[in-house]
Structure 1
Amino acid sequence: MRGQLFSLMITILLLGSLLTCVFWHSLNNYHVEPQKLPPHQKNAPHPGLCKGCREVIIKVLEHYSKPWKRQEDNYQKFRSQLRSQCHGDTKAFITQGNTPVGSKIVYDGERKRTLEVTPDIFRTFIKEYPFPNKTFDACAVVGNGGILINSSCGNRIDSAQFVIRCNLPPLAGGYKEHVGIKTNLVTANPSILVGKYQSLIKYRRPFMESLHSYGNSLLLLPAFSFARNTPLSMRVVYTVEDFQSRIQPIFFNPLYLQSLGAFWRSQGLKELRLSTGIMMVSLALEHCANVHLYGFWPFSFHPHDFHTITNHYYDDKKPNKAFHAMPVEFELLMRLHSQGVLRLHLGECGAGEL
């Protein structure tokens, strides 16, 4: 009897997913293929069926209808592969130890362009790796997905030993209950620095005020991904120094990013560039015994009841599809979840999860 009820539930959800395909037009990199509607769908309120709808719904039901269980062997195997190819435990960041004066930095996004490290640039590098030979017990990597709205996950996120946030997300203004406030590392996307803070060329105080909520965390910048990011990142460093902030700017090592891109391509990810989210997940998998992901759901409806959600918990700005393949990344993360390597949180933290 239970088996019949469960089959009926799946059937109802799958039919419901077809009626919600109108929302899938905004899915990141999931293509909507115009097709003729079958006879029984002629009155459906949308012009076409969405490729990939059923597959994702089935996978979510399959992986989240049963309790998650950590599988130590799978975790250790994946972590070993990641470390042996990327060495994120020692090479993820530029330091004065691994990048001396006179060395040449090759931009990972522009392989033909290099930069010689001058004394002025060298002094902006951190002296030592920020957490050498350190394995944190539990880490929370917080994406910015709209799935965090009304999730009540703030306390659970803040209970992690190390919390990573992406692209300077707002934490004040009523978000704390759902996303928390603890921050040990936060990234800054150059597009945010350009669009929101005018590249720090004129008014710098709004930028510094936005950093207050992150306390004395590390501020990770992709200074050497593209040549245009270098002067912008240097302005961030100088601004932080001028305002005597407690936050610590650090730079991604482009050699690490190249290795990381090759690793994920070997796992089936073919996008032009990795998203910040999967970069942070990769760091966490090398540095943390238990990795928990929040806010990683790149679709425009909630998996629990299919209500519409925004792309981010604070706005509905869409990602650059030319660079990132968010749903494909999500499928890889979901696979790691099902293998017990990491844990995806896709429900309300205060009232049970999917």
Structure 2
Amino acid sequence: MPSSPLPQLALPHIASLHAYTPGLQPTEPGWVKLNTNECPYPPSPRVAEALRQEIGADGSSLRLYPNPKSGPLRAAVARLHGLREENVCIGNGSDDILNLLVRLFCSPAAAAGFLFPSYSLYPVLVAIQDGRSEVIEFDRSMRLPFEKIAASTAKAFFLTSPNAPTGVAFANADLERMLATFRGLLVVDEAYVPFAQENAVPLLARYPNLVIVRTLSKAYALAGIRVGYALAQPELIGLLDRVRDSYNVNRLSQAAALAALGDPAYYDALIAKVKATRDANLARFAGPRGWFTYPSQANFIFTEPKNTRGESGPAVAQSAYDFLCRRKVLVRHFPSHALTASFLRITVGTDGEMSALNESLDAWLKSPLA
């Protein structure tokens, strides 16, 4: 068969693109899955009921397009945050919102800025746009490099807070310092902020160059539904509406998200449970195990394993990761950079799942492989 000419027809920057790599999604049963920061508990029972009602007895509602602006959901998000509908744009997951922002503010001539390590989708979105990236690296302290950010020429700068993969959160005072000195748009990606002590919503009224991005995938246990949103001044929301798909959020996702937002008591309890499990395991890693572990304000833990000889490093982390995989405990390892290669990122699971993780780590430490 002759070779296809299609790869040669693609735009050159797409032909050389490295796609985003999501965490492994095993299909066989028996895995303890702690690698993609999903919620370990189901969503509110109201979500399933809302989906049943939306589908109806014969599914006839599915022949109709969804609300093009997700209007009722915009109103619900606005009420949640004490804002107006004009301050809200709904996306097909927060990744959709991030993609729209890159589409608006990034090109070969206009850079998008972000820190490393952070969400590894950012450079992929910039590359799809054939844009230019300005990458500023954290050091191990994970303190914000204010001077470097202020000097950035990027049109938009993306900051994940709490940070992924470390879980370190940045105080509003630090965000205000950035907003006062950075000349472009600051995008604060708050995917994990329901698990944190502080959020940036109070800053919106004072800083027109701020946009906040949220998701219902993590704290609301709706990763399979794909709903996220942006909070910003109406002028920025208007720009997002110009470039988003006309029916970008399907009707079942809108119904599920509305039901979830309508049950705050359920989610307050769920978030408290995840935080309690996180904090207990943070204490175990940093205390009895003696592993350096960042103070997470997210639903995951970033820890640096030590073997029985007190050694840490990329090889030690890889050994622990491989041992866990053989025992069907799945976590995340990022070996491609010196700042992350010595660590494992562990999603906070149920108490039972975390016990299985710790039992496997204990077995690794007793094995010849450690």
TM-score higher than 0.5 here?
no
| TM-score, normalised with respect to structure 2 | 0.29
| TM-score, normalised with respect to structure 1 | 0.30
